[in-house]
Structures are given as C-alpha cells and as structure tokens.
C-alpha cells in the first residue's frame, strides 16, 4: 500500500499532524515504536489531551493506522519526523531519536519522497545531520528525495489556535524542497510561510520560545523585588498593558514548564557556545532566574508560616494544580515537581489537588489527588495555587484557607498572598 504520509512519533505533535492530514483526505500511517501506544490508538483510544477518543475513532474510520512496522517508510510519499528532542544530562541536545528515525528512513526512502523534520533542534541540524545521513546511501537531495524543516507550533489546550489555523513555517535545504514542503502542508494548513532555508526555519522556532523565556524571566525577577518594595506587580502589569503599542504582557509564576520554554532556548545557547565559543547571555540569565522560582516560592511559603511562628518542618502544605499549564493534564517540566521536592526535603507534609492528575509523584513519593478540596484546604497550614485551573474558586479558597499563597495572580481578596 502507498501512503500519502507517514508520521514518525504519535505524541503531542505527531498525532495532531496525523489527525489534520487524514481529515483532509490524505492516507496516513502513524509510526510509533511504543507498542502499547500503537495498540491504544488502533483501539480508538487517545493518550493526549488535545485529541479525543472520538477524534481517533474518526481517524480510524478514514483509514488512519498506527503501526510499529518500519517498512511503511518505504511506501510513503511524505515522511514527517515528530520525535522527542530532550536535553541530555550534560545540557546538550539529545538528538538520538532524530538520528535513529533518519537512519530508518535512509534505507527505505522511495524515489521522490519528501522528508520533513518537525522536532525542535539547534540551527543546522537538518543540513548538517539529517542530510548527510540520508545521502550516505548514495541518494541525492533534489534528485532522489527532498528535505525540509518545519517547526511544530502545537500549543496544548489552546482552544483558539490549533495546527490548521496557525501559520506553518517551512524551510528546505533546496528551493524545490521548500516548495514541495509548502505544497504538502498547504493541503491541511490555512497559511504556509516559506523562508530562505532550513536553518532559518529552525532558528525561527527557537526565537519564538527564547522571546517568551526571557520575558517571563523579566517579570519573575520583578516579582521578587516588587514584593520587597511592597509594590503590587499585578497592578503594574495591568496598567502597563493599557498602552496600545510597544508592550506585551507577561506574567510571573512558580517557574516555567512544558515541552518548549524550559528546553528550546537551550538549543540556541548550546549552538552559540559550540560554534562561536561564547555564551548567549540573555538565555543563560533567563534560565538562572526561571530555575530559581521554585526555591523562591518555598521561601515565600516559609515566610508566611514564620509570621505565625509555625515551622515549615511538619507543616501541611496543599498544592493546587501540578500541571505546567491551566486546564490540561500535561505535566512535562512542571515546576510543581521541584517545589514539592524542596518542601519534602524541608520536612513539610505535602498534599495536592489537580482535577486533571489523579495520581502524582515526586522524589520517592506517590500521592493521590485530594478529593474534597474544601476539607483539604481548610485543614492545611498553607494552600499554594500553582496552576489556575477553571475549577478552582480562588475567592472561596481564600476564605476557607488559613493561608492562601497565589502564584498566578488569580485572587483579588486581601486575605490572599500574591506572588
């Protein structure tokens, strides 16, 4: 069988790509090495929040198949790589999954096929890593196959912008590769933006998230000194954003999380150091500030308890919301984990509530979400709002809690303590 598209990786990025392609009439195979995920998808069950069970069942009815068989690559007109690219223990990008995927493609590539890398990486990966691996067997780009990079822009839980109506940036290693990638995405994405090459497309993704990373660090740093100077930073931000030009509001919080902000800027910093021999100081400073927030949150909790001569050790701390973003179940890189671990080492008794996370763990602890939030809040020494899920009535919580520490600026009650 011939496939219009094979998507390598069926996670937070790959499954939505498969979904939108199949809904627009393309024949799609989702290549996934996790056998449990393959079985789950083929049974009509989704494992990510933005794609429901009924969505997967609809995909299956239109011909979608999840598979672990690498031979589907030989039957694909287009192959899109959506595999994880985490940071390794040394802080360097771990591209082993990308490299493994490309090696699998190289020995099976059909003539004229288009290969697109969507996994976030450092500038030059498509030209310097992917291209040589594909050409190692004697095939040549522009003659035997086409190669491009198109950064994923999936924003989990975003009800306004999804894959279809978010402009898709594409940059090929040749002009014809760019054109073919643009034509491919144009079949199921409203707007495609062509750039000079793959390096420009790779760097655009990193710029987007570095911009956010640095601006979040700015307001996180401001939150610390505004607290010391008795300045309400939330009021400051509300006032500043009334300016209709030259300002975009960013908000402080307990740290950064998710699949992009804590990771992507480090790819750019890594490449600058490796290729040019000097640091990307903005990124490294932002990393330092944002990584300091969990420790700062715990110090603020301790300060609240100290006012009433209560020790942090032995105190009951209830954490509300342990996901990295509101109203989703995604916990990747959530600062809640670091906060819980610091509290646990200090001897606090940590509990949590999160309607999206029934079970949660940190260090060697495994916890179950508190069912009765009112009872849990009233019995805790301090309640800490880490994520502003819609289900939380912050006004009511500020009344029933002995102490409410709001890290998201959700409360307006004077009895709550805001970051």
Catalytic positions, written as ranges: 260
CB 335 within 8 A of CB 294: yes
Pairing of strands 365-368, 359-362: antiparallel
Ordered DSSP codes for 226-252: HHHTT--HHHHHHHHTTSSSS------
Record the tokens describing residue 297, joined without a space: 């949150």
CB 89 within 8 A of CB 66: no
Cα–Cα distance measured from residue 44 to residue 61, given in angstroms and rounded to the nearest whole number: 10
Half-sphere exposure for 146 (CA within 13 Å, toward CB): 22
Closest-CA residue to 382 (of 409, 336, 347, 417): 417
Cα–Cα distance measured from residue 285 to residue 297, given in angstroms and rounded to the nearest whole number: 19
Helix ranges (DSSP H) in 66-174: 96-106, 125, 131-135
- Residue 144 per-residue DSSP state: T
CB 351 within 8 A of CB 316: yes
């Amino acid at each position: 069988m011939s496939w219009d598209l094979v998507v390598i990786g069926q996670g937070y990025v790959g499954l939505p790509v498969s979904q939108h392609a199949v809904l627009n009439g393309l024949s799609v195979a989702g290549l996934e090495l996790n056998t449990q995920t393959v079985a789950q998808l083929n049974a009509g069950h989704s494992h990510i929040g933005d794609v429901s069970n009924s969505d997967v069942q609809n995909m299956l009815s239109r011909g979608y198949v999840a598979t672990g068989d690498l031979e589907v690559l030989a039957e694909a007109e287009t192959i899109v790589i959506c595999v994880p690219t985490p940071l390794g223990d040394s802080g360097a990008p771990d591209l082993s999954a990308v490299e493994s995927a490309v090696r699998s493609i190289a020995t099976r590539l059909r003539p004229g096929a288009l290969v697109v890398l969507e996994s976030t990486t450092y500038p030059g990966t498509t030209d310097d890593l992917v291209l040589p691996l594909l050409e190692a067997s004697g095939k040549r780009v522009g003659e035997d196959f086409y190669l491009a990079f198109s950064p994923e822009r999936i924003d989990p839980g975003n009800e306004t912008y999804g894959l279809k109506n978010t402009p898709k940036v594409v940059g090929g290693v040749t002009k014809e590769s760019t054109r073919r990638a643009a034509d491919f995405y144009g079949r199921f994405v409203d707007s495609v933006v062509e750039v000079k090459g793959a390096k420009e497309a790779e760097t655009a993704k990193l710029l987007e998230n570095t911009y956010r990373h640095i601006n979040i660090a700015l307001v996180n740093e401001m939150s610390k000194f505004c607290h010391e100077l008795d300045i309400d930073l939330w009021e400051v931000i509300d006032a500043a954003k009334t300016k209709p030009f030259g300002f975009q509001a960013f908000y402080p919080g307990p740290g950064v999380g998710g699949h992009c902000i804590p990771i992507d800027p480090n790819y750019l910093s890594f490449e600058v150091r490796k290729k040019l021999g000097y640091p990307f100081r903005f990124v490294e400073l932002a990393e330092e500030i944002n990584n300091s927030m969990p420790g700062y949150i715990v110090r603020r909790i301790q300060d609240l308890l100290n006012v009433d001569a209560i020790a942090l050790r032995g105190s009951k701390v209830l954490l509300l919301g342990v996901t990295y973003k509101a109203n989703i179940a995604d916990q990747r890189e959530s600062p809640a984990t670091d906060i819980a671990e610091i509290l646990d080492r200090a001897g606090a008794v940590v509990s949590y509530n999160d309607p999206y996370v029934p079970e949660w763990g940190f260090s060697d602890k495994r916890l179950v979400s508190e069912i009765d939030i009112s009872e849990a809040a009233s019995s805790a020494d301090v309640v800490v709002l880490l994520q502003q899920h819609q289900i939380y009535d912050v006004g009511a919580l500020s009344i029933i809690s002995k102490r409410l520490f709001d890290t998201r600026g959700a409360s307006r009650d004077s009895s709550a303590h805001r970051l």
